[in-house]
């Protein structure tokens, strides 16, 4: 797939087929993604690839914590407030997803079911958790993580896989550490669900919005 096409057609996948992702494919993606840039070539990312039984245990436990209304305590705090423009966009994607799923705004049960699905990583057969050692200066490490996450997602897409970067997968790091032996010395930054996309699902089909480059790029000549 041509790079411009890959970037434009990658989208967050919120319904996956149960088919497992071949380990060789995940290895090929990581083998290529390691060429992502990083601060001073520090390559400080550490990635837990979770599939099979371990993933099912994590999926069940994460969903249950959400349903039990356990207060999230992610290693990266979630912003409590957004400036108006970002708030509108954030609400906009929420509306699009719920509309695609035919869940009305006042349908509390439907919304809860959807959030439960999100906490279950949308049924993906693979979850990647991106971590950094806590001894690293977090700001630049976060940039490096962002770069490799995007590279992984694009490569996955180029190989016919879908992905969804999921803050919802790292809400309960203490729970993750009970199931996956990630030491507390590593901050669990973000997760990405991965698998074959259910291309028929409306939630994977709605049109997405982006600002025009003239709204965010200033030119100086
Ligand atoms: C850091 C980060 C965290 C995200 N967390 C979630 C999440 O918890 N749940 C979700 O459905 N999507 C999540 N997303 C996906 C975004 O909603 C999505 O990238 C955005 O709406 C743009 O849509 P697109 O990826 O389909 O182009 C996350 C994306 C990023 C970059």
Q: Which residues pair with 197 in a beta bridge?
A: 16
List, in order, residues 6 or more apart from 183 with CB less than 8 Å away. 177
pLDDT score for 206: 98
For residue 180, being part of any structural domain is answered with yes
Q: Give tens-digit pLDDT for 22-52.
A: 999 999 999 999 999 999 999 999 999 999 9
Measured from the CB, is residue 154 less than 6 Å from ligand 1?
no
pTM of the model: 0.98
User: Which tokens hold the place of 101?
Assistant: 């799923």
The ligand 1 atom at the shortest distance from the C-alpha of residue 10 is 27
- Distance in Å, CA 147 to ligand 1 centroid: 15
pLDDT at 15 over 70: yes
pLDDT at 1 over 70: no
For residue 218, being part of any structural domain is answered with no
Domain housing 158: 3-204
Q: Which of 114, 138, 161 is nearest to 12 (CA)?
A: 161
Measured from the CB, is residue 167 less than 6 Å from ligand 1?
yes
Q: Looking at residue 94, which CATH number applies to its domain?
A: 3.40.109.10
Domain count within the chain: 1
For residue 211, being part of any structural domain is answered with no
At 180, is the secondary structure helix, strand, or coil?
coil
For residue 25, being part of any structural domain is answered with yes
Task: Round to whole Å and give the CA distance between 134 and 88.
Answer: 33
Q: Across all residues in the chain, what is the average pLDDT?
A: 97
């Amino acid at each position: 797939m041509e790079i411009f096409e890959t970037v434009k057609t990658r989208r967050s996948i919120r319904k996956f087929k149960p088919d497992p992702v071949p380990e060789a494919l995940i290895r090929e993606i990581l083998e290529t993604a390691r060429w992502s840039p990083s601060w001073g070539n520090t390559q400080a990312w550490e990635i837990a690839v979770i599939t099979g039984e371990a993933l099912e245990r994590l999926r069940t436990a994460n969903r249950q914590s959400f349903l039990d209304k356990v207060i999230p305590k992610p290693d990266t705090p979630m912003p409590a407030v957004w400036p108006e423009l970002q708030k509108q966009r954030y609400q906009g994607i929420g509306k699009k997803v719920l509309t695609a799923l035919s869940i009305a705004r006042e349908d509390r049960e439907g919304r809860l079911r959807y959030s439960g699905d999100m906490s279950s990583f949308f049924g993906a057969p693979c979850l990647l958790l991106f971590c950094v050692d806590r001894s690293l200066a977090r700001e630049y490490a976060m940039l490096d993580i962002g770069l490799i996450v995007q590279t992984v997602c694009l490569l996955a897409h180029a190989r016919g896989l879908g992905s969804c970067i999921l803050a919802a997968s790292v809400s309960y790091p203490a729970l993750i550490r009970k199931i996956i032996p990630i030491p507390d010395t590593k901050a669990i930054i973000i997760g990405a669900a991965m698998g074959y996309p259910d291309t028929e699902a409306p939630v994977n089909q709605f049109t997405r919005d982006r600002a025009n480059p003239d709204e965010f790029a200033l030119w100086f000549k």
